[in-house]
């Protein structure tokens, strides 16, 4: 493996427990949709003589790939020529290689399949780095195929050469530079296996252009032999029993849920545990949708822009059950004051995450779906009863007193209120038949706070890397992967312009994605920090030179509209969602709108500013004096 986070991971535990090895069970995680089709003797192309480029395409077909995103170039031209003859793979031409990888990423997150991108060498390959890093940080299964200069000139600074394997080494799960056609098919088999098993992640395959011309006899392997790579799926039985015993004693437990629940397909098991023991659930940005928003035990987002009641629940808990979450700094706040009374049960398929940030009293390495199912089964067997009645009553009191939003905090009736926009959008969407994708910034936090999601893979956002420019192309990939669902991208005017060229991709391919731009003519989140903590010194965050987004949409053949007043909002949202093709809705909001509540950088999780206190008239409290619109303590915004 090429990175310290990789999974040599649990090989000892796996051996000691006799776990079935991933090589014998391709597609062991929820990200895999069964065994790849056409492997081995079942593959109609098995034994055929073909070029390396044709073998690349045949390998993709053998893995069941029917959709790739990409952008051609000189060193990838042979692969693209072979792709021209495939009747099983659809290629979506992006307008930038970063867009292609984000599109593959959005497709993977929405469907659970491995996303695939193909690009050329040099600048084509280096343009993928941000997309690969985004997928790596959020554990998304991708295979990125890059063209490379001929083997004989690698290392000579030849035209459009870059060491993409070296450049991406810190942000891939594994990578390959093909050296011979003899290793081509085994490499592709391994790459897909690694990408989708264990903790999912991106894998890169660099294909020299001369190798793509050489002939080989196509033999695609049925199995993978990777002795050093044996992810642990079954949790240690002794540790599971310890977790069960600790859960039975807990009086103030919290289930802290991350994206691992989504990757594992463990939502039903999570719900069973929460309901059986009456445990409240808080979610990370990546975990949103893993537990139904409408469920009485769902406290929603936690952390820097989480609710005050969720943050208080974490702070006062006596047991945190971390399920597929990594104790990000955006969740914990000041670490030495985080959850001071709590013991931790940490369940994750990646042992490198356990104890990395917060010590776990009961660490369990394994796949969440199976581990949670075992925990629930043992609790049922022991007739365990919840002890959380007083705890839930306390949380209910906090929840009533400190809601995310209350109409009484509004002090500008002629302005569009971001929280209201998100709540209206949420109400207009079928939670079972829609996917919300976000860009990164204030709008992302408003969406996370106010858009209800009832099922996994229905909320897609860049969590770990926080990539501006991710959301729009990712929404295209999600919409192509889930054509029966309404896909809405919630964007900011700054983030949207990072990859707005992908409007051409959606337009030409007829992708009916909807883009709602929260347009405040500034880089909202940085502007907010400057407003609160930097004396209103707005250095390089004002975007007065924004384009007319409606005219931009028209130039790409999209439908579009702009709204500037709250009275126009309902009709505008209805028109956007009813449109048959791609649609952009430009929503004008004030630069003075801030995302609250907020835990200031370096502060404890329960040290919340801007939370609403319904007990004193539904006003935002503890807002710093530097916020001119708020007027200090008790201010509205």
What are the structure tokens assigned to 211, written together?
A: 């190798």
The span from the CA of 637 to the CA of 621, in Å, is 9
Q: Which helix (H) or strand (E) holds 106?
A: helix 97-111
Whether the bond between 597 and the residue before it is cis, its omega within 30 degrees of 0, is yes
Which residue segments constitute the domains of the chain, with CATH numbers given?
Answer: 11-217 (3.40.50.970), 237-401 (3.40.50.1220), 407-588 (3.40.50.970)
Sign of CA pseudo-dihedral 360, 361, 367, 369? negative
What are the structure tokens assigned to 412, written together?
A: 């500008």
Cβ atoms of 304 and 413 within 8 Å: the answer is no
Contacts of 617 (CB under 8 A, 6+ apart): 408
pLDDT, tens digit, for every residue of 422-469? 999 999 999 999 999 999 999 999 999 999 999 999 999 999 999 999
State the residue for tokens 């987002």. 301
The span from the CA of 190 to the CA of 626, in Å, is 55
Contacts of 569 (CB under 8 A, 6+ apart): 416, 420, 421, 424, 563, 587
Q: Which helix (H) or strand (E) holds 492?
A: strand 486-492
Contacts of 508 (CB under 8 A, 6+ apart): 93
The span from the CA of 451 to the CA of 568, in Å, is 20
Other C-beta atoms within 10 Å of 582: how many?
25
Contacts of 223 (CB under 8 A, 6+ apart): 23, 24, 26
Between CA 405 and CA 395, with CA 390 as vertex, the angle to 5 degrees is: 15
Residue 217 has what pLDDT? 97
Between CA 101 and CA 110, with CA 106 as vertex, the angle to 5 degrees is: 150
pLDDT, tens digit, for every residue of 597-612? 999 989 999 999 999 9
Residue 404 has what pLDDT? 92
The span from the CA of 219 to the CA of 209, in Å, is 20
How far is CA 346 from each of CA 14, 260, 332, 440, 455, rounded to the nearest angstrom?
A: 18, 12, 15, 28, 23
The span from the CA of 349 to the CA of 367, in Å, is 5
Segments of the chain with pLDDT less than 70: 1-41, 410-411, 626-637
* Percent of the chain scoring above 70 in pLDDT: 91
Residue 39 has what pLDDT? 54
Residue 470 has what pLDDT? 98
The span from the CA of 261 to the CA of 30, in Å, is 10
* Angle at which helices 442-450 and 418-428 cross, to 10°: 50
The span from the CA of 26 to the CA of 44, in Å, is 20
The span from the CA of 380 to the CA of 302, in Å, is 29
């Amino acid at each position: 493996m090429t990175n310290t986070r990789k999974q040599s991971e649990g090989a000892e535990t796996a051996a000691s427990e006799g776990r079935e090895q991933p090589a014998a069970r391709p597609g062991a995680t929820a990200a895999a949709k069964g065994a790849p089709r056409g492997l081995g003797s079942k593959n109609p192309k098995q034994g055929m003589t073909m070029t390396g480029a044709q073998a690349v395409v045949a390998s993709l077909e053998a893995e069941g790939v029917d959709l790739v995103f990409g952008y051609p170039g000189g060193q990838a031209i042979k692969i693209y020529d072979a792709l021209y003859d495939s009747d099983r793979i659809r290629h979506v031409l992006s307008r930038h290689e970063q867009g292609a990888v984000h599109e593959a990423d959005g497709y993977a997150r929405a469907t659970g399949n491995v996303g695939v991108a193909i690009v050329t060498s040099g600048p084509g390959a280096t343009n993928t780095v941000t997309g690969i890093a985004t997928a790596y940080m959020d554990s998304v299964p991708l295979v990125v195929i890059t063209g490379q200069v001929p083997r004989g000139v690698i290392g000579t600074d030849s035209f459009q050469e870059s060491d993409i394997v070296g450049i991406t080494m810190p942000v891939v799960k594994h990578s390959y530079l093909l050296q011979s056609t003899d290793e081509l098919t085994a490499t592709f088999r391994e790459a897909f296996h690694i990408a989708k098993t264990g903790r999912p992640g991106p894998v890169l395959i660099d294909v020299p252009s001369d190798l793509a011309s050489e002939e080989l006899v196509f033999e695609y392997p049925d199995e993978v032999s990777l002795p050093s790579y044996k992810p642990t799926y079954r949790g240690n039985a002794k540790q599971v029993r310890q977790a069960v015993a600790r859960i039975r004693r807990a009086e103030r437990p919290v289930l802290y849920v991350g994206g691992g629940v989504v990757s594992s397909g463990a939502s039903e098991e999570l719900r069973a545990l929460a309901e059986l023991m009456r445990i409240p659930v808080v979610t990370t940005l990546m975990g949103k949708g893993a537990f139904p928003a409408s469920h009485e035990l769902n406290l929603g987002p936690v952390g820097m822009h989480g609710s005050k009641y969720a943050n208080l629940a974490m702070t006062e808990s006596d047991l945190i059950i971390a399920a597929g979450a990594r104790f990000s700094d955006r969740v914990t706040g000041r670490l030495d004051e985080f959850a001071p009374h709590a013991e931790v049960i940490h369940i994750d398929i990646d042992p490198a995450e356990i104890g990395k940030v917060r010590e776990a009293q009961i660490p369990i390495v394994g796949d969440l779906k199976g581990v949670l199912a075992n925990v629930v089964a043992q609790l049922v067997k022991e007739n365990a009863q919840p002890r959380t009645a007083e705890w839930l009553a306390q949380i209910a009191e906090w929840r009533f007193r400190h809601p995310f939003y209350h109409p009484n905090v509004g002090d500008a009736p002629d302005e569009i209120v971001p929280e209201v926009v998100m709540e209206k959008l949420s109400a207009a969407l079928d939670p079972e038949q829609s996917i919300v994708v976000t860009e990164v910034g204030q709008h992302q936090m408003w969406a996370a706070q106010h858009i209800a999601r009832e099922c996994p893979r229905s909320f897609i956002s860049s969590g770990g890397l926080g990539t501006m420019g991710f959301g729009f192309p990712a929404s295209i990939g999600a919409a192509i992967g889930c054509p029966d669902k309404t896909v809405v991208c919630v964007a900011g005017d700054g983030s949207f312009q990072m990859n707005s060229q992908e409007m051409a991709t959606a337009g030409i391919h007829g992708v009916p994605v909807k883009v709602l731009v929260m347009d405040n003519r500034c880089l909202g989140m940085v502007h907010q920090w400057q407003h609160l903590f930097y004396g209103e010194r707005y250095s390089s965050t004002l975007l007065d030179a924004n384009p007319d987004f409606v005219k931009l949409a028209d130039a790409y053949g999209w439908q579009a509209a702009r709204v500037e007043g709250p009275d126009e909002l309902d009709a505008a949202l209805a028109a956007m969602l009813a449109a048959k093709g791609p649609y952009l809705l430009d929503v004008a909001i004030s630069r003075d709108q801030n995302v609250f509540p907020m835990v200031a950088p370096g502060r404890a999780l329960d040290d919340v500013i801007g939370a609403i206190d319904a007990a004193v008239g539904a006003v935002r409290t503890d807002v710093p004096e530097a916020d001119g619109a708020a007027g200090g303590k008790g201010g509205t915004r």
